[in-house]
Amino acid sequence: MAEISKINDNTYEVPIGYRPGMRVPGRIFVSAALRDMVESGTIDQVANVANLPGIVNYSMAMPDAHLGYGFPIGGVAAFREEDGIISPGGVGFDINCGVRLLRTDLQATSVQPRINTLIDALFEAIPSGLGATGRLHVSDQQLTDVFINGSKWAVEEGYGVEADLSHCEESGHMPGADPAQVSVRAHKRGRPQLGTLGSGNHFLEIQRVEEIYDEPVAKKFGLFKGQITVMIHCGSRGAGHQICTDHLEVLSRAVKKYNIDIPDKQLACAPLGSPEADNYFGAMVCAANYAWANRHIIAHWTREVFERYFPGSKLDLVYDVAHNVAKIEEHEVEGKRERLYVHRKGATRAFGPSRSDVLQAYAGVGQPVLIPGSMGTSSYVLCGNDRALDLTFGSACHGAGRVMSRSQALKLFTGQNVKAALNRDGIVVKATSPSMLAEEAPQVYKPSGDVVDVVHNLGIATKVARLVPLGVSKG
């Protein structure tokens, strides 16, 4: 990072001219403790994104940023509606990979003695793993309804309750879905995977609220020390991946058609308002809605398992956030309100109390920002602040961020050793394969606390609670 300049203790600037063609500077939000973990390739990707037409203010990278496809994972960029673009690389393959947090009325002292049994039951109830198929067998018409209505479809089918919808980003479904832009192949991949956890860094975790940083906000979110929470991290599965793949091919041709000069072919894009851009956006919304329905169904089955072992217990939804998505939002740019297409790839929306988008239950406070840790480390609940609107178009980090590839992890760790280490720390883990545990060892990620401290210190999103894992179900 020698060529970039330090703005403050948590902000570094990639100047125009770092790479040819930059329209705006880059901003990397990172502390001294994390600075050396930022790969040169990630900085290059921040600079490359700054080349794209219509980009506003900065090309940004959150403190968990690392090398991705086109955009860095942890990348944020906003584009003007009139002269900007939309790019699948700024959303990612796992469209609306996100996190859902359920709070219970249970104390850890009553759950911990049964944690092994509970994790076994959750692992059995919720299919997981690469290519896993679910318990549901939806028709083509039902899948189309999922693409259009997201979590609303799930509630109408008896999964979850109406109150859950008001505690989801976008109420669990974005407008603008166009199922006609979803290929037969994407339908084929998505139909059997609804209600599945997936693989990689996806998980279902039983947690204990270990620390409260802000009592009034924690109370608003319904959190208290010693409480049991459940965190669900997953996305749009094969449907989202195929939708991204399909439209990348189309937008790769659109770059040539519209004479867009890009420094990296992975930044394939199309001008906003073009048929290619509209078609991708409509398909992306379908995948986002699928992901919300997917997490909704998994949450319903989680409640059923808890009811079996803790009859009468409550599991209420704190919030559900999207990590990989492009959204049409109004933001202030140079003193004027503008409609922008905000790309958040491995980044979480972090709206403060001034935004009408914040749900009524959290009015006057700001939206919950959910930051999962790596397997075996702390997760955090934060609260979005209005400061984020000035700095990051209302965006924060989304997790810990990898510092090691999966192939490197497999050379250094074994699933057996990782599981043994977690067990010694009092964490029960269940996974479909030992290699998955090795690939997701806590050591391959940045320290989640250091990542969260950056956005907290910047005032983008401030700490409310820290959650520690008791049991983990992995794909």
Q: Report the catalytic residues.
A: 398
Beta pairing partners, 8? 11
Beta pairing partners, 396? 348
Counts for the chain of helices (H) and strands (E), in that order: 16, 19
Is the alpha carbon torsion for 25, 29, 31, 33 positive or negative?
negative
Q: Rounded to whole angstroms, how far apart are CA atoms 246 and 181? A: 10
Neighbours of 226 (CB within 10 A): 12
Contact (CB, 8 A) for 10 and 29: yes
CA atoms within 13 A on the CB side of 19: 20
Determine the residue type at 69.
Y
Q: Rounded to whole angstroms, how far apart are CA atoms 340 and 54? A: 10
Helix, strand, or coil (residue 299): helix
Q: Provide CB contacts within 8 A for 108, sequence distance 6+.
A: 208, 226, 227, 228, 470
Termini Cα distance of the chain: 35
Q: Rounded to whole angstroms, how far apart are CA atoms 114 and 308? A: 12
